[in-house]
Chain A
Amino acid sequence: MAVITDYTRANRRNEWILGGVVGVVVVLVVVFVTILVTSGGGEAPATEPDADARRLTAGTCAAKLRQPAWVPETVMRADVACPEQISRKLGDSASPDRLGTWVVYDLHGPANEELLPGAAPGLWPDAEVASGAIHPATTITYVAYPGSDSLTEELGGDTLRIEWQDFPQGGGEARVTQVENNGYGPLRVEWTDEQGSYLLLTVRGRTPDGRSGASAEELLRMAGSLVGPG
């Protein structure tokens, strides 16, 4: 009986098997690492803006407060007024312990930029006055009252729309007060949590460059993104 043994072919088959196994292992490792990175990266977009928003008040008294981790893309910078500063403006008549901390966010875009002529108002062109072309800067004001569990007094007026709305994320709800002047006017969002009470304020202004300020949805998203010190 003749036995033909082809060692070359057998070796080649073993090499194919070994290569295949190594290839599968490599593929599995790559897939595993990719899944690991992807699952970890899923939180990255949420934490990155958080860090950005809190960076606006880094090094100020607001850094130790709960504050919005998310702000609209139009926010450029923020300025902080601490209770001690406010108390000094009032001649120290109010204890800083009872005063809120103010963070005022500047908004980008021509509708939000301040356009006040240097001349006295009596010399302002009528057409520009009537069109809304002469206006202050529109900002978003955030006020935190740590330790408080009350909202500010509810406003009254026929042109107000006041309703409670849920945050789009983060849980919770806020009292939304909109002045309804033909689709424009001040907008307030107020709420409390276990650490304090809070207020966000902007103006949906009418200007030739479009509507200024932020929407109720944006303010509610800011409210729902409140986090402690970063």
Chain B
Amino acid sequence: MVSARTWLQVGGGVVVAALITAAFLQGRVAEDAWTANDPVGECGTGTLGGDVGATAGGGVLAVQNVLSATHALEPATSTWDANTADAVRAFQAWTGLPANGCVNTNTWVTMRALVVPVCAPEYNCLGADQLLRGGPARGGRDAWFLDADCDWASWVQPGVAASPVGSQTAYEFSGGELAELGCEG
């Protein structure tokens, strides 16, 4: 007959295994955050008539943060607008993509390739640890990001961030409403 102690041990083992699996999967999500991002912007309408591309939230803010460095886009509000659309199209045309204003996987991959860690690769620096530097060598523009355990985050510079976005605050990439990063950097 199986004792209660054995059942407790088995149960504890299952919980630990589940936690390890969840941590691993979250790590994978963080790695793939840029390529797994939902479409943003002018991506047409779905079968039910809704917009395919998000027009507000963390994904839009990430795009605006990239464009603040590459195309001097200001302000970053996390809401899609005409300025963001044209800056996306200019970015796409410059990098060889169809200039359609839809930030889909190919555009996300292109943006991701411009971001470089500021910290040596084997270290885990806390806080903003990824930099996209745009413009000329002197007087260039910086866009900061944070590669956290659970997700990537935008970390917008003062002067670029505008309400409801706060400067030097980590906002999750994930779609949906704008949300501050909920895990450790």
Q: A-side interface residues toward B, CB under 8 Å?
A: 77-79, 86, 89-91, 93-94, 98-100, 102, 104-106, 114, 116, 120-122, 124, 129-132, 134-137, 139, 141, 143, 145, 147-153, 155-160, 177, 179, 181-186, 188, 197, 199, 201, 203-207
Q: Which residues of B contact A77 (CB under 8 A)?
A: 137-138
* Contact for B137 among A99, A104, A134, CB less than 8 A: A104
A-B contacts, 25 of them at CB < 8 A, read: A79-B138, A90-B118, A94-B129, A98-B119, A121-B71, A122-B83, A134-B71, A135-B71, A136-B71, A136-B94, A139-B137, A139-B140, A141-B116, A145-B120, A177-B113, A181-B97, A181-B110, A185-B110, A186-B95, A186-B113, A188-B113, A201-B114, A204-B96, A206-B93, A206-B94
Question: Distance (Å) between the CB of A150 and the closest chain B CB?
Answer: 4
Q: B-side interface residues toward A, CB under 8 Å?
A: 31-32, 35, 69-73, 81-87, 89-90, 93-97, 99, 105-106, 108-110, 112-114, 116-123, 125-129, 131, 133-138, 140, 142, 144, 168
Question: Distance (Å) between the CB of B106 and the closest chain A CB?
Answer: 5
Contacts A93-B126, A134-B90 given; does A184 touch B95 at CB 8 Å: yes
The answer to whether A201 and B96 touch across the interface, beta carbons within 8 angstroms, is: no
* Contact for A79 among B72, B137, B168, CB less than 8 A: B137
The answer to whether B136 and A135 touch across the interface, beta carbons within 8 angstroms, is: no
Residue on A nearest B136 in the bound complex, by CB: A137
The answer to whether B90 and A121 touch across the interface, beta carbons within 8 angstroms, is: yes
Query: In whole angstroms, how far apart are the Cα atoms of A58 and B106 in the complex?
Result: 39
Residue on A nearest B138 in the bound complex, by CB: A79
Question: Distance (Å) between the CB of B152 and the closest chain A CB?
Answer: 12
Residue on B nearest A125 in the bound complex, by CB: B86
* Nearest 3 A/B pairs, CB to CB: A184-B96, A181-B96, A157-B109
Query: In whole angstroms, how far apart are the Cα atoms of A90 and B142 in the complex?
Result: 12
Q: Which residues of A contact B109 (CB under 8 A)?
A: 155-160, 179
The answer to whether A102 and B120 touch across the interface, beta carbons within 8 angstroms, is: no
Query: In whole angstroms, how far apart are the Cα atoms of A124 and B83 in the complex?
Result: 9
Q: Which residues of A contact B127 (CB under 8 A)?
A: 90-91, 93-94
Question: Distance (Å) between the CB of B135 and the closest chain A CB?
Answer: 5
The answer to whether A114 and B136 touch across the interface, beta carbons within 8 angstroms, is: yes
The answer to whether A158 and B105 touch across the interface, beta carbons within 8 angstroms, is: yes
Query: In whole angstroms, how far apart are the Cα atoms of A150 and B87 in the complex?
Result: 35
The answer to whether B105 and A150 touch across the interface, beta carbons within 8 angstroms, is: no
Query: In whole angstroms, how far apart are the Cα atoms of A209 and B123 in the complex?
Result: 41
Residue on A nearest B140 in the bound complex, by CB: A104
Question: Distance (Å) between the CB of A96 and the closest chain B CB?
Answer: 10
Contacts A98-B119, A148-B121, A153-B31 given; does A205 touch B94 at CB 8 Å: yes
Contacts A89-B142, A129-B89, A188-B113 given; does A99 touch B120 at CB 8 Å: yes
The answer to whether A121 and B116 touch across the interface, beta carbons within 8 angstroms, is: no
15 further interface pairs, Cβ-Cβ under 8 Å (given A98-B125, A99-B118, A182-B96): A79-B137, A93-B125, A94-B129, A134-B93, A137-B134, A139-B136, A148-B120, A152-B117, A155-B109, A156-B35, A156-B109, A157-B109, A159-B110, A160-B109, A185-B96
Contacts A98-B123, A179-B113 given; does A129 touch B135 at CB 8 Å: no
Q: Which residues of B contact A159 (CB under 8 A)?
A: 106, 109-110
